[in-house]
Amino acid sequence: MRIQRGLTVVITLLAAIAVAMQVDMSGLLAAMERGFGRETIFAFFCILLNFYLSFVRFRYSFKALGIRVPVGQAARAFVLGHLGNQLIFSVVGQAVGRSAVLAGAGVSPSAITFLSFLERMIALGSLLLFALAGGAYTLGRIVFDVEGGGGYFAYFVLSLIAVVLLYGFANLRQLRRLFAQLSGQLAWSVLAGCFFISVIAHCAMLGAFYAQFSAYGEPVPTVAALAALSVVMFLAALPISFAGWGIRELSAAHVLGALGVPAAVGAAVGVAIGLLSLVLVIGCLIAVPFMAIRPKPVTASAPAPQIVASRNDIDRLFAALAAFFLPVAVVFQLRVPMPSHWLNVNLADLLAVSASAVLALTWSWTRPLVSPARWVVPPLALLSAAIGLSLVLGYVLHGFLSWAFVNRTMGWFVILSYFGVGLLLWAHSGRARLLRAVHLVVSAVSIVAALQIALYLVGTYTRLLPAGINLVRLEGYLADSNAFAFQCVIAFIAFFCLRAMAAVSGHRAGIHLAPAVLVAAVVLAQSRTGWVLMGTAVVLTAFWMPAVRRELALSIVAGLAFIAAIPLVEIIVQVAMSLLAPAGGGGGGGGVAEGALVQTFAQGMERAHADSERWETVWRGLELWREAPVFGHGLGGFIHDRLVQGKTSQVIHNVPVWVLAEMGLVGFVMFAAALLLFVRGLVLQRTAPGAAVPANAALICLAVFCLGGLTQDFFYQRLFWFVLGLMVPLACSAPRRPAVGTAAPRPA
């Protein structure tokens, strides 16, 4: 029975790959059968050699932090990490599996997670050299479809580089501190050795790919085949899939297809390598029970394992890395073009989930430190229970839906990971790290907003932007102007939270440019929801943070004045050009034509179709609720209903209606209770003198979150939960004593 289930899973996976690539399933199976032979056995031994070299690299990487672990225990950790990498989700499962084993040896989960990410970066960096060489060789044969998504991908990559450089320059002081911490902990010669081992391991895997490809006897020169397969290896190694499935097969079909290889053969090569790796995983799964490590008695001839690096130093280093890189990574959502759809990828998920995994693995000693925030557990547990109950109900009513499981259920636990990052920073690095993380969030969103404004103006007044990039409104890197405007509003609130805390402590600075940029970005996003949310944030901030009212007003005026000045400058330029033009020189009419910015803005505001679609989803959601008022139609019920009607997948643009439609009154009550418990906890935190400002900021974020949820599906917005997860520890970690400069109460 288990063998039959396993074959069913494999056949289903092959069918999904064939459908995604638009390849005939029978052709794919025939190609796989034709390619099985001695070459496949040789490919398996190459994969086994790659596996062994990866273990050598893993064991050698311990020296980078001065960690010493017995070989047997390291082998067991590596095997479980490899299983996690294949079966859970890339480097996250790898880090969790390794940390769970080595925690018994006294190694900090922060150290193992950090080394796992460092090892993956070294592997990708060395593999990138293979891919660049292969891409340079086959560049003239691979078509870069600008109109079909390639232009957007290039735009995304170039923008990412620009934002990262600006982000590093704007936070140069913190970047220098981070490099100083890294230099004090890492042995750079060890990293060079890991890089060399990675190159050898990649050669072994490339041999596996080429051996399997050679079984088909395609008339492709050896150098060209190796060059193409090196590109496939790099794409499959990116941490955006489960063990490379899907990405490996799609890229193999596309890259090898540029060399004249049939798509079925390219896909078969990728599937064969995936199945051989899966066989190795099954072997590891069988070997794990026989690898139980018993501690040996410590003798004079066999000293106990030593951990040279300080555990506290490594924990602080990991917290510093998470606090620095997560804010800039979370604002990027890559849309990878596929043959039939777009694949949304956010690399910040890997870091957030890993950070929360470290928090869970160190919970025995971090729990007392974060105990003042234990009041957040009941509301988060209520939300999790409602989603879990709805998932089970949906499975009973309409079967398994990947949207319900992956996007809604697994997506919710990813959201919880973003919230948990704040607790990790608080426990491992203190309150100061939380303040730096909030500052970095504001910095990252402001830089993206400024760059988007610049690109918007370039696209409006020039033709310098490539084809396929039409910025009629600001969308950030989310492909959604409403979501981008919501991000800007959250960063706006976070900025004035920092300013209000600085005003309370007596350190006032001049007006910063960030809030004015965020205001201008919300206006140019042309999101009516964003305008309402920004107005709400301004009113609540002025009410709850009176110390920043002057800065608040000036930022609003500066942002709006910038927007108003653009068409004014355009009119002045047009008038000047008409006056300088020679008389009778073919000048147009007597008036000044409508400005390009006004035309682009008007084009972006035309959303009649989007509005009708939004109301259609809301009314249909209410109809589904009336059909099942108590428990709803289960998670994914709305998507299932649209698919049954032959419509495209769509979400309900109203969070309360979504909850009613898929979870019924029971789920709605659980959501409402969670919200009330959250508000109650924040209100109680406001009684402490140093906690009022971050607690008020969290309440303002909740207010705009709930208000925006009436017209948009904002429940799974990563940045909101990340910032909320920073504000709550800031409020809970505030000193429970009067602020400096205030008089103590007199005794009665």
Tokens read off for 248: 């490996």
pLDDT band at 610 (very low <50, low <70, confident <90, very high): low
Percent of the chain with pLDDT over 90: 25
Beta carbons of 50 and 208 less than 8 angstroms apart = yes
pLDDT at 597 over 70: no
**Pairwise pLDDT comparison (711 vs 595), residue with the higher score:** 711
Tokens read off for 633: 């139609």
User: Among candidates 54, 36, 29, 51, which has minimal Cα distance to 211?
Assistant: 36
* Dihedral sign of CA atoms 522, 523, 526, 528 in order: positive
Q: Report the C-alpha gap between 351 and 417 in whole angstroms.
A: 9
Q: Report the C-alpha gap between 320 and 430 in whole angstroms.
A: 11
Q: Report the C-alpha gap between 647 and 339 in whole angstroms.
A: 19
The pLDDT of residue 725 is 94
**Pairwise pLDDT comparison (46 vs 506), residue with the higher score:** 46
Tokens read off for 660: 């009613």
The pLDDT of residue 740 is 44
Residue 357 CB-density burial (10 A; 0-12 exposed, 13-18 middle, 19+ buried): buried
Tell me how long the chain is: 748
Q: What share of the chain is helix, strand, coil (3-state, %, to 5)?
A: 75, 0, 25
Residue 563 CB-density burial (10 A; 0-12 exposed, 13-18 middle, 19+ buried): middle
The pLDDT of residue 674 is 95
Q: Running DSSP on this structure, what letter comes out for residue 647?
A: P
Beta carbons of 414 and 656 less than 8 angstroms apart = no
The pLDDT of residue 43 is 87
Phi, psi of 258 (to 5 degrees): -65, -15
Instruction: Round the average pLDDT of the chain to a whole number and report it.
Output: 78
User: Among candidates 664, 646, 661, which has minimal Cα distance to 713?
Assistant: 661
**Pairwise pLDDT comparison (8 vs 30), residue with the higher score:** 30
**Pairwise pLDDT comparison (125 vs 412), residue with the higher score:** 412
The pLDDT of residue 585 is 47
The pLDDT of residue 497 is 93
pLDDT band at 421 (very low <50, low <70, confident <90, very high): very high
Beta carbons of 209 and 233 less than 8 angstroms apart = yes
The pLDDT of residue 5 is 42
Beta carbons of 131 and 234 less than 8 angstroms apart = yes
Beta carbons of 563 and 714 less than 8 angstroms apart = no
pLDDT band at 324 (very low <50, low <70, confident <90, very high): very high
pLDDT band at 705 (very low <50, low <70, confident <90, very high): very high
User: Alpha helices of 188-310 — where are they, by DSSP H?
Assistant: 188-214, 222-237, 247-257, 263-287
Q: What is the pLDDT of residues 450-499, one digit of tens each?
A: 998 988 888 777 776 665 566 777 888 887 889 999 999 999 999 999 99
CA atoms within 13 A on the CB side of 490: 32
Q: Report the C-alpha gap between 710 and 660 in whole angstroms.
A: 13
pLDDT band at 354 (very low <50, low <70, confident <90, very high): confident
**Pairwise pLDDT comparison (306 vs 253), residue with the higher score:** 253
User: Among candidates 127, 264, 276, which has minimal Cα distance to 211?
Assistant: 276
Q: What is the pLDDT of residues 130-156, one digit of tens each?
A: 777 777 776 554 445 545 455 566 677
164-203 b/e (C-beta count within 10 Å ≥ 16 → b): bebbeebbeebeeebeebeeebbeeebbebbeebbeebbe
Min mean pLDDT across 5-19, 64-78, 187-201, 719-733 is at 5-19
Average confidence (pLDDT) over 585-594: 44
Residues 6+ apart with CB under 8 A from 414: 349, 352, 353, 718
**Pairwise pLDDT comparison (445 vs 649), residue with the higher score:** 445
Average confidence (pLDDT) over 389-410: 86
The pLDDT of residue 741 is 44
Average confidence (pLDDT) over 402-429: 89
Average confidence (pLDDT) over 190-196: 87
The pLDDT of residue 377 is 93
Q: Report the C-alpha gap between 338 and 253 in whole angstroms.
A: 12
Residues 6+ apart with CB under 8 A from 185: 65, 309, 313, 314, 317
Q: Running DSSP on this structure, what letter comes out for residue 303?
A: P
Parse the chain into domains and list their residue ranges.
55-293, 330-577+599-732
Beta carbons of 324 and 425 less than 8 angstroms apart = no
pLDDT at 162 over 50: yes
Q: What is the pLDDT of residues 656-672, one digit of tens each?
A: 999 999 999 999 999 99
User: Pairing mode, if any, of strands 334-337 and 342-345?
Assistant: antiparallel
**Pairwise pLDDT comparison (655 vs 295), residue with the higher score:** 655
**Pairwise pLDDT comparison (273 vs 374), residue with the higher score:** 374
The three-class DSSP label of residue 466 is coil
Average confidence (pLDDT) over 497-506: 70
Q: Where do we find the tokens 């769970």?
A: 100
The pLDDT of residue 90 is 64
pLDDT at 431 over 70: yes
The pLDDT of residue 170 is 87
The pLDDT of residue 188 is 75
Average confidence (pLDDT) over 81-94: 68
Tokens read off for 435: 């303040």
Q: In angstroms, what CA-CA distances link 278 with 86, 262, 271, 540?
A: 8, 25, 10, 55
pLDDT band at 339 (very low <50, low <70, confident <90, very high): very low
Q: In angstroms, what CA-CA distances link 34 with 27, 195, 212, 265, 272?
A: 10, 37, 11, 10, 11
Q: What is the pLDDT of residues 8-23, one digit of tens each?
A: 444 444 444 444 444 4
The CA-based angle 154-160-162, given to 5 degrees, is 105
Beta carbons of 253 and 263 less than 8 angstroms apart = yes
pLDDT at 632 over 50: yes
pLDDT at 304 over 50: no
Min mean pLDDT across 245-249, 258-262, 429-433 is at 245-249
* Dihedral sign of CA atoms 360, 361, 366, 368 in order: positive
**Pairwise pLDDT comparison (558 vs 567), residue with the higher score:** 558
Average confidence (pLDDT) over 332-337: 67
Average confidence (pLDDT) over 327-343: 68
In DSSP terms, 477 is beta-bridged to 332
Q: What is the pLDDT of residues 550-564, one digit of tens each?
A: 989 999 999 999 888
The pLDDT of residue 402 is 77
Q: In angstroms, what CA-CA distances link 602 with 127, 359, 373, 480, 688?
A: 47, 48, 47, 17, 48
pLDDT at 728 over 60: yes
User: Alpha helices of 263-409 — where are they, by DSSP H?
Assistant: 263-287, 311-330, 348-361, 363-366, 377-398, 402
Q: What is the pLDDT of residues 64-73, one digit of tens each?
A: 877 888 887 8
Beta carbons of 142 and 255 less than 8 angstroms apart = yes
The three-class DSSP label of residue 68 is coil
pLDDT band at 521 (very low <50, low <70, confident <90, very high): very high
Neighbours of 458 (CB within 10 A): 13
**Pairwise pLDDT comparison (593 vs 367), residue with the higher score:** 367
The CA-based angle 327-330-335, given to 5 degrees, is 155
